[in-house]
A and B are shown apart, each in its own frame.
Chain A
Amino acid sequence: MEPGAISLRASGRGRRRLLVNRVAEGTAVLAAVLAIVVLAIVIWSVGSRGIGAINLDFFVKGPSSDFFGGDGGIAPALVGSLLLVGVATLIALPTGVLTAIFVSEFASVSIGRQIRLWLDVLNGFPSIVIGIFVFTLAVKTKVPVLGIGHHQSAVAGGFALAVIMLPLVARSTMEVLRLVPNHLREASYALGVSKWQTVLRVVLPTSFGGILTGTTLAVARAAGETAPLLFTCAIAGQIVDWNPTHSVQSIPLTIYLDSESADPALHQQAWAAAFVLILFVLVTSLTARLLLERSRKKLGLQR
Chain B
Amino acid sequence: MTKRFSILIAAVAAVLLAATAAGAKSTDTTITGAGSTFVQPLVAAWTPAIGKAFGYSVQYSGVGSGAGIAAITANQVDFGASDAPLNTAQQSACPDCIQIPWALSATAVAYNVPGAPAHINLDGTTISKIFLGTISNWNDPAISALNKGANLPDLKITPVFRSDGSGTSYNFTDYLSSVNATWKTKIGTSTQPAFPAGQGAKGSSGVAGLISRTNGSIGYVDVAYAIKNHIKFAAVRNKAGKFLFPSLRRIEAAATAYTTVPANNELHIVNPPKSAALAYPISTYTYIIVHKKSAHAPELRKMIFWALTQGQGSQFAAKLTFAKLSTNKKVLVAAEKTLKQIQGV
User: CB within 8 Å of B: which residues of A?
Assistant: 63-68, 83, 86, 89-90, 139-140, 150-152, 201, 204-206, 208, 234-247, 260-263, 266
Contact = CB atoms under 8 A, between A and B. Distances in A.
B47 to A, nearest CB: 6
A84 B107 CA distance: 38
Nearest to B21: A242
Contact of B23 (A150, A208, A244): A244
B345 interface: no
A242 B209 contact: no
B27 A246 contact: yes
A63 B40 CA distance: 12
Contacts of A260: 202-203, 205-206, 209
Interface in B192-238: 202-203, 205-212, 224-225, 227-229
Contact of B75 (A63, A150, A208): A150
Contacts of A244: 19-20, 23
B60 A247 contact: no
Contacts of B210: 262
B1 A208 contact: yes
Closest 9 CB pairs of A and B: A237-B59, A205-B1, A262-B209, A67-B41, A262-B208, A243-B23, A242-B23, A261-B205, A242-B22
Contacts of A89: 12
A86 B16 contact: yes
Nearest to B44: A65
A163 B5 CA distance: 24
Contacts of B92: none
12 contacts: A67-B41, A67-B320, A89-B12, A150-B76, A201-B2, A208-B5, A237-B33, A237-B58, A243-B26, A243-B27, A262-B209, A263-B228
Given A239-B47, A241-B59, A262-B205, A140 B74 contact: yes
B205 A263 contact: yes
A150 B212 CA distance: 39
B145 interface: no
B57 A261 contact: no
B289 interface: no
Interface residues of B, number: 51
A49 B205 CA distance: 21
Contacts of B206: 260-262
B144 interface: no
Contacts of B212: 262
B76 A242 contact: no
B118 interface: no
B61 interface: yes
Given A83-B19, A242-B22, A263-B229, A237 B1 contact: no
A275 to B, nearest CB: 21
Contacts of B253: none
B71 interface: yes
Interface in B1-54: 1-2, 4-5, 12, 15-16, 19-20, 22-24, 26-27, 30, 32-34, 41, 44-45, 47-48
A29 B274 CA distance: 77
A246 B59 contact: yes
B2 A239 contact: no
A14 B59 CA distance: 73
Contact of A238 (B44, B74, B202): B44
A238 B60 CA distance: 7
A162 B50 CA distance: 36
Contacts of A86: 15-16, 19
Contact of B61 (A64, A65, A67, A235): A235
Nearest to B15: A86
Nearest to A204: B5
B52 to A, nearest CB: 12
Contacts of B120: none
B63 interface: yes
B76 A151 contact: yes
B319 interface: yes
Choose among A151, A242, A245 the residue with the greatest number of B CB atoms under 10 Å from its CB.
Answer: A242
B75 A65 contact: no
Contacts of A262: 205-212, 225, 229
Nearest to A67: B41
A46 B95 CA distance: 48
A256 B34 CA distance: 18
A240 B61 CA distance: 13
B120 to A, nearest CB: 20
B34 A239 contact: no
A236 B1 contact: no
A236 B34 CA distance: 8
A263 B224 CA distance: 13
A151 B75 contact: yes
Contacts of B297: none
Given A67-B228, A208-B5, 6 more contacts: A67-B41, A205-B1, A205-B2, A247-B61, A260-B202, A262-B212
B284 to A, nearest CB: 18
A151 B19 CA distance: 21
Nearest to A298: B1
Contact of B59 (A139, A204, A205, A238): A238
B339 interface: no
A236 B32 CA distance: 8
Nearest to B19: A242
Contacts of A63: 44
A68 to B, nearest CB: 6
